[in-house]
């Protein structure tokens, strides 16, 4: 036994003692190959998964480095079986390689003939292969490059893609660092992506993912297709690129519900790209409209299934995914790995907060108690109606009013899922409501008025979850959400994490109905933030209504 900060367990969990002198050094050493699961006050839990180990291999770490890190920081002897399993799992990555071939174009080759024979006999893969080239390689239909990587990952034999990329159509793009400069981590993130070829950059909301995207575009200096979540986000990307790069208005096109411009840099929404008419995706030609040198995916954790399928055909293009969290509620992290690329850069939220790049946040869950009649109505409601019933209880309205009054003069967002609830709050608080039916121009006018301080309270539905840049938002009050979505919780907290000109921290309130599904879902939603080190305080609604210190 030594005095190390890490307890390594045979079930592949790692327990890190946060207050230990070597904790920071240990965290840095294990971050490339272990996923943070929970981060409460004193002991953080990490888990070693095959995907995390393959991410580490793709980033250039080998099994020897991983094992050395575990042994160096472990308090007790590391289980031998775990070390063997790590070496075996990491050894699976790269035994199969996708490579260019002068005659066949693309081949799958192997340093282990038995593995190649195993995958050649997998029924689901047989249609993707062409003729056998030699004992250790087989031709692959170039159009199957992405689909094959997806399938091999599921078989437990992730292929290393060494087939390279086409440069695409050259187009000069440079950063214009006038009055600002790339932060160190932004430069590191863009460089890590570029040297890796394709992959994902994970940065907290408010840390400048758009700027990392712009830096990657400057590296590529090529035509770029940018896929974003919505039209407001498309406009914000355009404004940022005009501010931060040498690109002009004429060089940037918008491909949205209202405009269909194809230019050297084109910004398209996922919604338009996944629109179908008579079962056919009508805008797929956008992927072939230019010889793109770079395809950029904003909020890659939200990528719709059709975009994954389209991405499978884009394997010759460099691909960059940007996200605040790789958590996907559908469990398709493996598809992000195989089709976009491995994680190239990851910055923990609390680390960024400690460096002053994002604001510290105080997370508070305010629990309201249903009235007797509401409790009875909830108990007898149909199962599918229960969450909506408790999430929209009128009991919440007076609590939201009290919270907004408590922070009068601060830029406050009220966020929810159910439109009738938001409309009612809009009337009560005399505040504008942004929802799906709100016209794009009106949304942008209201966001601008909020940024300038002309209005201090804004009520938003889930249309404002993603990619909305509201630098001075200091308080968020969440009244209802998409069931137990951890992604959504992260994005909503992200709306208030930009550093404030006042230097103050942010407040994030969740108003939750006690002893209901609302409380159960809230616990699940908060998991991601707990993983990042944010602790929720729980207070009673009565304390808020009585204006007590909370």
Which tens digits make up the pLDDT trace of 26-50? 988 998 899 877 766 788 889 999 9
Answer whether residue 484 shows pLDDT above 60.
Answer: no
Quick: pLDDT tens for 434-451. Answer: 988 888 889 889 988 988
Angle at 436 between CA 239 and CA 396, to 5 degrees: 115
Pick 68 or 286 by higher pLDDT: 68
pLDDT band at 466 (very low <50, low <70, confident <90, very high): low
Q: Is residue 261 part of a domain?
A: yes
Q: Are 368 and 542 in contact (CB under 8 A)?
A: no
Give residue 24's pLDDT band: very low, low, confident or very high (50, 70, 90): confident
The mean pLDDT value for 499-512 works out to 82
Question: In whole angstroms, what is the distance from residue 120 CA to residue 430 CA?
Answer: 65
End residue of a domain, out of 347, 365, 400: 347
Question: In b/e form, how buried is each residue of 79-104, taking b as 16+ CB within 10 angstroms?
Answer: beebbebbeebbebbbbbbbbeeeeb
Residues 468 and 505 placed together within one structural domain of the fold: yes
What distances in angstroms separate CA 267 from CA 216, 229, 287, 288, one per listed residue?
A: 15, 10, 12, 14
Do 275 and 291 fall within a single domain?
yes
Report if residue 172 sits inside a domain: no
Asked if residue 337 and residue 423 are part of one domain, the reply reads no
User: Which residues does 268 contact at the CB level (< 8 Å), separation at least 6?
Assistant: 225, 226, 227, 228, 234, 254, 255, 256, 283, 286
Q: What is the rounded average pLDDT of the residues 513-525?
A: 87
Regarding whether 538 and 458 lie in a shared domain, the answer is yes
CATH label of the domain that carries residue 390: 3.40.50.300
pLDDT digits (tens, 9 = 90+) for 189-240: 999 999 988 999 998 888 889 999 999 999 999 999 999 988 888 998 999 9
CA distances from 285 to 264, 279, 319 (A): 15, 15, 18
pLDDT over 70 for what percent of the chain? 96
Q: What ranges make up the beta strands (E) of 74-185?
A: 96-101, 105-110, 129-134, 137-140, 160-161
User: Quick one: 125 and 204 in the same domain?
Assistant: no
Domain-ending residue, one of 318, 347, 376: 347
Over residues 328-342, the pLDDT tens digits come to 767 778 888 889 998
- Domain check: are 312 and 372 in the same one? no
Q: Which range scores top for mean pLDDT: 231-235, 268-272, 354-358, 399-403? A: 399-403
98 DSSP assignment:
E
Count how many domains the chain has: 4
Residues 508 and 370 in one domain: yes
Confidence of residue 471 (pLDDT cuts 50, 70, 90): low
264 in Cβ contact with 251 (< 8 Å)? yes
Whether the pLDDT of residue 538 is over 80: the answer is yes
Q: Are residues 367 and 502 in the same domain?
A: yes
Q: State residue 1's pLDDT score.
A: 61
> Are 265 and 376 within one domain?
no
Q: Could you report the per-residue pLDDT of 415-427, keeping only the tens digit for each?
A: 998 999 999 999 9
Contacts of 151 (CB under 8 A, 6+ apart): 122, 124, 125, 128
Asked if 129 and 213 sit in the same domain, the reply is no
pTM equals 0.83
For residue 266, pLDDT beyond 80 = yes
Q: What is the mean pLDDT of the chain?
A: 89
Domain that residue 380 falls in: 356-545
Of 53, 70, 92, which residue is a domain's last? 92
Say whether both 253 and 123 belong to one domain.
no
pLDDT of residue 112 exceeding 70, the answer is yes
Above 80 in pLDDT, residue 69?
yes
Is residue 174, in this structure, part of any structural domain at all? no
CA 15 to the chain's CA centroid: 25
State the Cα–Cα distance between residues 278 and 33, nearest whole angstrom: 45
Interacting residues of 211 by C-beta distance below 8 A, sequence separation 6+: 182, 186, 240, 244
Do both 395 and 525 map to the same domain? Answer: yes
Q: Of 57-61, 418-422, 486-490, give the range with the top mean pLDDT.
A: 418-422
Q: Is residue 513 part of a domain?
A: yes
pLDDT at 420: 93
Whether the per-residue pLDDT at 308 is higher than 90: the answer is no
Task: Name 96's bridge partners.
Answer: 110
Q: Is 167 domain-assigned?
A: no
């Amino acid at each position: 036994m030594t005095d190390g900060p890490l307890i390594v367990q045979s079930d592949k969990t790692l327990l890190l003692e946060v207050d230990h002198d070597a904790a920071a050094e240990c965290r840095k050493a294990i971050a490339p190959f272990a996923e943070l699961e929970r981060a409460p006050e004193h002991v953080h839990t990490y888990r070693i998964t095959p995907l995390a180990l393959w991410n580490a291999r793709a980033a250039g770490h080998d099994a020897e480095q991983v094992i050395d890190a575990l042994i160096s920081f472990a308090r007790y002897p590391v289980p031998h079986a775990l070390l063997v399993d790590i070496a075996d799992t990491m050894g699976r990555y790269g035994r199969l390689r996708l490579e260019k071939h002068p005659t066949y174009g693309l081949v799958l080759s192997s340093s282990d003939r038995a593995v190649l024979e195993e995958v050649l006999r997998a029924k689901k893969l047989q249609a993707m292969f062409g003729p056998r080239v030699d004992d250790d390689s087989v031709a692959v239909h170039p159009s199957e490059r992405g689909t094959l990587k997806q399938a091999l990952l599921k078989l437990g034999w992730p292929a290393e893609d060494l087939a390279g990329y086409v440069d695409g159509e050259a187009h000069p793009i440079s950063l214009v660092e006038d009055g600002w400069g790339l932060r160190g981590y932004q430069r590191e993130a863009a460089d890590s992506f570029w040297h890796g070829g394709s992959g994902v950059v994970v940065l907290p909301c408010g840390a400048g993912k758009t700027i990392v995207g712009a830096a990657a575009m400057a590296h590529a200096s090529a035509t770029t297709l940018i896929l974003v979540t919505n039209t407001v986000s498309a406009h914000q990307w355009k404004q940022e690129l005009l501010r931060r790069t040498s690109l002009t208005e004429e060089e940037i096109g918008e491909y949205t519900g209202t405009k269909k411009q194809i230019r050297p840099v084109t910004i398209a929404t996922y919604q338009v790209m996944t629109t179908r008419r008579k079962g056919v995706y009508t805008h797929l030609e956008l992927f072939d409209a230019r010889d793109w040198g770079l395809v950029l995916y904003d909020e890659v954790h939200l990528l719709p299934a059709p975009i994954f399928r389209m991405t499978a055909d884009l394997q010759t293009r460099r691909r960059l995914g940007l996200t605040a969290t790789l958590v996907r509620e559908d469990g398709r992290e493996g598809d992000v790995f195989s089709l976009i690329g491995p994680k190239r850069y990851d910055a923990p939220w609390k680390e960024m907060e400690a460096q002053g790049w994002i604001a510290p946040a105080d997370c508070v869950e305010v629990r309201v108690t249903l009235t007797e009649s509401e409790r009875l109505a909830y108990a007898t409601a149909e199962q599918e109606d229960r969450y909506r019933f408790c999430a929209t209880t009128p009991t919440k309205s007076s609590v939201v009013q009290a919270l907004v009054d408590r922070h009068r003069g601060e830029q406050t967002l009220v966020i929810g899922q159910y439109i009738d609830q938001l409309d009612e709050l809009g009337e009560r608080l005399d505040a504008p409501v942004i929802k799906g039916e709100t016209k794009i121009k009106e949304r942008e006018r209201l966001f601008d008025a909020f940024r300038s301080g002309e209005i201090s309270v804004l009520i938003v539905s889930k249309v404002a979850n993603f990619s909305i840049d509201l630098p001075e938002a200091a308080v968020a009050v969440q009244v209802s959400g998409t069931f137990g979505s951890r992604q959504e919780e992260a994005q909503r907290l992200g709306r208030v994490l930009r550093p404030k000109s006042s230097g103050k921290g942010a407040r994030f309130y969740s108003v939750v109905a006690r002893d209901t599904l609302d409380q159960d879902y809230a616990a699940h939603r908060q998991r991601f933030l707990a993983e990042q080190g944010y602790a929720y305080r729980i207070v009673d609604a009565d304390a808020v209504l009585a204006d007590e210190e909370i």
